Structure 1
C-alpha cells in the first residue's frame, strides 16, 4: 500500500509547478553525477590496469633482498631452498648498481642490472624489446640492453653504433675517495638492444651480463644484490611471501610486486578515494534538492495526510510513504545515470571512440574497466543519499497533525 501511494505521488502532477521542476532537476543532477562517477572510475581503473600491467611485466612476483647490508652472500643455498617451493617457477639472482654510462661526450647515470642469459625467459622483458635483442653476452664479451630514454640521452642508435659504451661504477675498495681514478672502476659493453616499457623504466634501467658486472664489483659467484622470484600463474603472492619467509628465515626482506611499488599503488588508491569523496559531496548537494521537493510535497499533501491519519495510518506508515518517494526520486536518477554511464563504458571498450591526445602512451584511446566492487559502492552511495534525503521530510509528515477542516 505505501509503495503504491508513493508511486502515485511521484507520477501525479503537483499543483505548484516549481515542485515538479525541483524534483526533475534533482533526478537529473543525480543521474549526471552517477553517470560521471561510473565513467570516471572505469577510466581510472583502465589506466590503473594498464600501469599495473607495465609494472607487473618489469618487476618480479617476489623480490628477496638482504635485511642488512647491500648483498646476499649465500645465493646458491637460497636458490636451492626456493626450488623446494612448488609455486615458484623460477628464480634469478640479480646484481644491481648505480653506474655512469658514457658514449664519447654524452653520458647518463643509470641503474645497471646484471642478469643471467636465462633472465629473458624468466621475465617478460623480451616482449618490450623494440631494437636488437635481449642478449646480455658473456663475461668476456658483455652486451648492454638500454632503456629507450637512455639510448636517446646518449644520442646513439642501437643497431648502427659500432663502438662499445664505457661503464663506470663506484669502487668499494677505494683507498683514496678523493682520487677520481681510484674511486671508480670501468668496463666496456656493446649496446645490442633497446626496450620501451614506461618512461620511468626507460630513463633509468639498463641490463648487462651478471658475471661481467659481478667481476667489476669484485663479487664472487655466491653474491648478488637480490633475488627475483617468478611464481606460477594465479599464485597468491601474499601466501607465497609467507611460505618463502618461513623457509629462508629473518635475514631477508621478502616483498611482493605491490610492496616493491608501495608508494605508486597507495597513491592510486588515494586518488580513487578522492574521486568517491568529490562525487559523494556532489550527490549530497543534489540531495538537498530532493529534500526541498519532498518538503513542498508534504505541505501540498496535508489533506491527504489528514485523511490517512483519520483512516488509521500510523506515523510509521506515513513516514514510509514519503521515505519511499525520496528513494524513488534518487533511485530513478541513480539508475538512469548508471545505465548511461555503463553504456558509454561498454561502447568505449568495444569501439575506442574517445582518443588520447599525443603519442606518449602505449595505447591511443582511453582505457576503461568496469569493476563489480565499484558498482556496488556507487549503488550504496545512491541508496544512502536516497534514504537521507527522504528521511527528514518523511519524519515531518508523520509527526505533524493535519485537520480535514479547510
Structure 2
C-alpha cells in the first residue's frame, strides 16, 4: 500500500534522539536566519551607497557630456546647439570652458579647476540643490559671480560677507620669446564670490564655476569651447538621446552619459557587492552543513523504521521527499525569518536613519539603504540551491536504505 506523505513523515520523525536532532535543526535555522538577514542588509547598504553617489554626482554632472575626440577644445558652431536641441527630450545645452587656473584671495593662493558655463546651466543644473551659502545663479542683475567649492573656500579662508575682496584668477598667456615683463605673461581677472556649494570632496576641493563670458576672456578662447553639457527632460531615456546626438555630431566628438564619467567607481562598487554576496552565501552554505548532519543522523537512527515503511508499501520517492521536505522546512524557516528581519531593519534605517556614519564630516548622517527586489530574489534562489545540495544526499541515502537493511 502507498502511505500518505504526512502519515509516513509523522511515523518515523519521532524517537529518543528527536530532541537532540531538533536542537541541531533549530541552531541551523538560526544561523541561516542570521546569514540571510546579513545578506539583505549588506546588499541594501551597497544599493544605498550607489544611489547616494549617483545622486551626488547627478547634482554636478549633466545628463550627457560632449567632448572633442582630439584635443581639449574645438570651434563652437551654434548649429550644433540647434541640432541637439531639436532632439526630443533635450531641454538645455550649455557650452563649457574648463581649465586649471590660479586663484588668489587676500594672501591665500591655490590652483583650481575653473568651469565656465552659460545660462542653461543656471536653469537646469543640480548645483542649486547643493548650495550651502550664498546665492544662485551665476549671473544676477547682469553681474557675474563665482560659485566656489566648500574645500576651496576653506583653503582660501574666503568669506561671502566681505565685499571688499574679490577672487582674483590668473591664467598664463601663450607668449613668444623675448617677453621679460612678468605682468604680460599672464591674464588676470577679478570676480565676486557669489556662493558656496558642497557635493563631494573631490569637487568641493577643486571646482569653481564662473560665467562662460568670464572664462572666455580669462583664457582668451575666442570662439572655442571645451565641451557641451546636455540636459534632458526626466522622462527622456538618456541612452537613446546619446545615440541620437552621436549620429548628429559624427566621429569628431565623444558623447558620454553623465554616469559614464564615473563608470570605474560604479564598477568597483558592483564588484565589492558581488564579493560580499558570495561571502555571505558561503556562510549560509556552511550553516547548511548542520542541516546535512541532522538529516544524516536522522537517517541513521531511523533505518529500521524506514525499512518497515518500505515493507508496508512505501516507495523510495516518498522517503526521499520526506527528508528533502525536512531540510526545506529548516532552511526556508530560517530564510523567511532572516528576510523579514533584513527587510524590516532596512526599512527602519531608510525611514529613521538609526545607524549613523560615525563621522562628523560625512556627506549624510546615517547609512543609506535601498532594497531591490532582484537582491531578495537572488538571496532566495541561493538558499534554495544550498538547501537542495545539503538535503539531497541524506534523502537519497534514506530512500536506498531498504535495500541494504532488513528488519531485525
Shorter-chain TM-score above 0.5:
yes
1:190–1:325 Cα change, 3 Å: same
The 8 Å contact of residues 176 and 183 in structure 1, kept in 2 or not, is answered as no
CA pair 179-403 structure 1, distance change in 2 beyond 3 A: farther
The corresponding residue for 1:336 is 337
- 1:157 aligned counterpart, secondary structure: coil
What residue is the counterpart of 2:75 in the other structure? Answer: 73
Q: How far is 1:375 from its partner? A: 0.9
Shift of 1:216: 2.1
Specify the alignment match of 1:324 in structure 2. Answer: 325
- Deviation readout 1:266-292 (Å, 9 max, x if unpaired): 111112112101101101111111111
In 1, Cα distance between the equivalents of 2:291 and 2:92?
60
Matched position secondary structure for 2:75: coil
Note the C-alpha offset of 1:264: 1.5
For 1:250 and 1:133, locate their aligned partners in 2 and report how far apart those are by CA, in whole Å.
39
**Aligned partner of 1:210 among 196, 212, 216:** 212
Q: 1:12 to 1:405 in 2, by over 3 A?
A: closer
Shift of residue 13, structure 1, vs aligned partner:
6.1
Tell me, yes or no, if structure 1 residue 85 matches structure 2 residue 87: yes
> 2:59, 2:130 within 8 Å by CA — same for their partners in 1?
no
Is 2:170 the partner of 1:168? Answer: yes
Alpha carbons of structure 1 residues 184 and 207: separation in structure 2 relative to 1, 3 Å: same
Using the TM superposition, give the Cα deviation of residue 38 of structure 1 relative to its aligned residue in structure 2, in angstroms: 1.4
Structure 1 residues 136 and 352: alpha-carbon distance in aligned structure 2, compared to 1, 3 A threshold: closer
Do the aligned residues in 1 keep the contact of 2:289 with 2:390 (CA within 8 Å)? Answer: yes
Q: Which residue of 2 aligns with 1:364?
A: 365
Deviates more, 1:127-136 or 1:325-334: 127-136
Deviation at 1:116, TM superposition (A): 1.5
Aligned counterpart, 1:124 = 126
* Residue of structure 2 in register with 1:257 after alignment: 258
Q: Secondary structure at the match of 1:168?
A: strand
What displacement does 1:30 show? 0.4
Q: Aligned equivalents of 1:81 and 1:287: distance in 2?
A: 61
The equivalent of 2:378 in structure 1 is 377
Higher deviation after alignment, 346-355 or 189-198: 346-355
Task: Name 1:60's counterpart in structure 2.
Answer: 62
- Compared CA separation, residues 12 and 43, structure 1 to 2 (3 A): farther
Note if contact 1:92-1:227 (Cα within 8 Å) is conserved in structure 2: yes
SS in 2 for 1:250: helix
Shift of 1:44: 2.5
Encode CA deviations 1:122-154: one digit per residue, 9 max, x unaligned: 21111222222134349x964311101100011
2 CA distance for matches of 1:219 and 1:161?
29
The 1-side partners of 2:117 and 2:185 are apart by 24
Q: Which SS does the other structure have where 1:156 is aligned?
A: coil
Alignment-derived partner of residue 352 in structure 2: 351
Post-superposition shift, 1:197? Answer: 1.7
8 Å Cα contact 1:10/1:325 also seen in 2 = no
Between the aligned partners of 1:191 and 1:162, the Cα distance in structure 2 is: 11
Contiguous gaps of at least 5 residues in structure 1: none
SS at match of 1:345: helix
Q: Distance in 2 between matches of 1:180 and 1:237?
A: 50
CA–CA distance in structure 1, aligned partners of residues 250 and 328 of structure 2: 57
Give the structure 1 partner of residue 160 of structure 2: 158
Indicate whether 1:37 and 2:39 are aligned: yes
TM-score w.r.t. length of structure 2: 0.91
Q: Supply the distance in 2 between the matched residues of 1:118 and 1:201 (Cα, whole angstroms).
A: 20
Task: Report what 2:202 is aligned to.
Answer: 200
| Aligned positions, number | 403
Range with greater deviation from structure 2 (353-362 or 46-55):
353-362
Is the contact between residue 6 and residue 325 of structure 1 (CA under 8 Å) also seen in structure 2?
no
Measured after TM superposition, the shift of residue 351 of structure 1 is 3.2
Contact kept, 8 Å, 1:45 with 1:370, in 2: the verdict is yes
CA drift at 1:175:
3.2
* Superposed CA RMSD: 2.6
Question: Could you tell me how far apart the structure 2 residues matched to 1:170 and 1:3 are?
Answer: 87
| Structure 2 CA distance for partners of 1:318 and 1:355, relative to 1, 3 Å | same
